[in-house]
Structure 1
């Protein structure tokens, strides 16, 4: 794929945050973005251009029928100056699975990877180098055909934006508090809960807002049918540690197949830890915490990587884990995975891809 690259003058470049502690998450964006458009003749007009606003017709399909998908991934700066991506081919494949579910055109994997890599390298001055920082990559596809009527669009915009980020949670790698939601639901089997589309997150906003207003970090969702089985946290897949075994809910169609989730399972087995994917009820979780059978819990996702869980709040009662301290298993998995992502440790899985140098 040929990508046109727009050169920017020095006076068009934004100032870079020199203080990594001020980065936050998803508030700062780089100078350029990638765009490509689709119509009945296929994908065309691939370019890396100045970050700017889009102009859409008020009747564009994305506004009225939510035909939209996205991905989330990161690029890391290694200590020796390499620019590293973590399992980018998995994000590309998952985005095309999302596209298929929402009747959107697939993008050739090699083209999407090329676009991601060329944009990150073009914007490499933005990749932060402080510990725990990275550049977040957000590929997105939206339906742009102007019409009113429920059917798939025939026109689309694919774009990629970049954001230098620090820790996803303000406290960094510290135990978070989860609110178990047993009234609202995020997604149901047969719906679109297993793809990355904005509607899933819109459905979670009210419960998430109420949880945060009460002082909780995230919502732990239960299944839509019985409000009984643990599913996922808003931005993470969920894991529970039963002694020497790590248990996570299975991918039944309403849970996002997280790339970090799959990596945690593979890494845990590599480290000699037992893993199990099975249905787990919230009652089993509460009983396990109360009895001490569950010694740790954590979430996994691209944004936060691994987040230890310090407590669950369920039916007006708080249940603390490991004295609200980071557990040994969680710490080991986090350290090992992060060191692989930043190129500090051996990568026996071939997960990390070098795409250039700073």
Structure 2
């Protein structure tokens, strides 16, 4: 964004890879956009992985690699939290010292109160992974797949006190294919998000002038994903189960063993069956066929599982499974009560 010879002072706030993609792009485009990223805000380092080692966020790693100051407050709330031992007053004062013109926020994970949203001269812009007002909230990518949406995208919005309710400045559309998973869609949207924020910052006054209010009665909410949502109910339709596998950490039980279902083929509409739900109809080298519940058209279909993982073991493809005798024709996955 050109402001004469003055660079726009940008504070970036984000935590995971989705946000790191946009941060990296903004760093690369600083000269072209006439901006200066003066600070990066991210969640405190946390334990992760099997070894539970304290690990910096993806955003922090990008900031450090580019010599950008990093701030990791635990809260911006003015209410003192004795467990955290800090007040958000200090966090706000630190942010003010950076004199931000704009704050770019992407999957930050920390609530920004009204007093914080008002600190940057041109407000706070959020990179949201849906076409608002559809899928406001924590898990828009997974919810879009679960719902069978064929389109999603990125919305750049001006943040307010509500949950993803702010005025929309720009949208970038992304198709959802029937083989997109939460990870592949995440990666596509991360790149689109980076494109979108660059586009907006190139002409911020114009996009702010044309900001569009959301229609609240068209909103849907992407609630946080719970682990139990991953358990497959084989009475459900093959189409819904396929979406569940693509969107979540799907799993089922066989012989009292928990098995992750990592991948499945697209549903074949002519692959109908009369077998009971949860029955493993065929274990072959190209697919493991499992009978599902009734679809909307009244037909029962098979789902073709292609990658499974037993606890403590590596993922196995169908050929490896067929040669292992871990699953046999006629076995049944456990039903959900």
TM-score (norm 2): 0.26
Pick the structure with more strand per residue. Answer: 1
**Greater length-normalized contact order (CA 8 Å, ≥ 6 residues apart):** 1
Instruction: State which structure, 1 or 2, has the greater radius of gyration over its C-alpha atoms.
Output: 2
TM-score (norm 1): 0.25
